[in-house]
Amino acid sequence: MIYLDANSTTRPTERVRAAIARADESLWANPSSVHRAGQEVRREIELARDHVCTLIGGSKPREIVFTSGGTEALDLAIRGSVAARAGTVPTLLTTAVEHAAIRDLGEELAKLGVVKRELLALRSDNSGIIDEHAAREAIARAGRGSIIAVQWANNETGAIQPVREIANAARAAGATFICDATQWVGKCPTRVREDAPGADEDLCPCDALICAPHKFHGPKGVGILWLATSMRLRPTLLGSQEMGRRAGTENTSAIIGAGVACEEAAAWLNDAAIRGRLAALRDDFESRVLAQLPWAKVHAANRLWNTSSISFPRLEAEALLLALSERGVYASAGAACSSGSLEPSPVLLAMGIPEHEAHGTLRFSLSRETTPDELARAAIIIAEAAEQLAKIK
């Protein structure tokens, strides 16, 4: 198996799996219980919270809220922020290239009349990256009380948004900035505090940040929401857990596993050379594919080291995915299944990618475990499968 679908999910590490097994075996008590067994579990959860805080460059572990996943964390941040503005209809600024967790929620809230939804303009170069100048003007117009929800890195193309500049514009306008960092955290250094050590590209001084450990070799079933102390949020589930910000008995095993994943990711991120080598492997993989298929096209903006979006014009992404799967290469389509047919990705179309290219676009995404040999073999298999399908067409 050659697994090139890391932006979808990753394999939990051995330490993560062991931590989850230990939790299931001996840390099954309710962490809200005052007895010793419950408090032992509580200590493990708070240790995990501390590891999360360290990974994202937070200030205090209590800023971290555990949810059931990244989608719920985004829903809580956006819906909770809107609810905190009761009596007003705030402007929600987002983009047409967001993950469906933001895109669909924004459309639903606009239909309900609780927000006025506006889309930030993208640059005209088909990169899918926000036009910074236009964004600053739009945020200033929306003004105090508005909400901005933008992803740090795109899940389909890896395109990196200018989140630091958006955060600064939001602060100047008195707006709230919610950053979807699901594809960023654990793959690149992150800091939400300006006084935390790191490079400029690591900084996102937002009001809320979301990530999901299963994107960096942690477990599914747990999401992470970081909240600045100034963030106004009304819970959507009422209860006493998570300091009253998200109700429900905690998913102890997943949270403990997430803490280990964050600890491991923080250690891995200390060596920038590793990410450089993996980015070079990604680039070599793309060169190998294009050398065999000169009619294919790589969408290469400023992007994550692990993501490759390649169009195979006139081919159907679903057919190519199935052909690759039969040959042991696993990837994803930049598309959404609708009514039994594979429609072009709204993200790619919003970027200005022609429909015939968007319809045949695949996403190949690397993890920390991806090897040079796997990528070299994958390039050959991809070329063979695409050529065979092209002859049929």
Q: Tokens 């993989």 belong to which residue?
A: 285
Rounded to an integer, what distance in angstroms lies between the CA atom of residue 186 and that of residue 55? Answer: 8
Catalytic residues: 337
Burial 315-339 (b: 16+ CB within 10 A, else e): bbbebbbebbeebebbbbbbbeeee
Q: How far apart are CA 260 and CA 213, in angstroms?
A: 10
Beta bridge partners of 338: 341
Sequence-separated (6 or more) residues with CB below 8 Å from residue 333: 317, 318, 321, 342, 345, 361, 362, 363
- Give me the half-sphere count of Cα atoms (radius 13 Å) on the Cβ side of residue 227: 25
Label residue 235 left, alpha or beta by phi (over 0 means left) and psi (-120 to 50 means alpha). beta
Which structure tokens are listed for 45? 């959860």
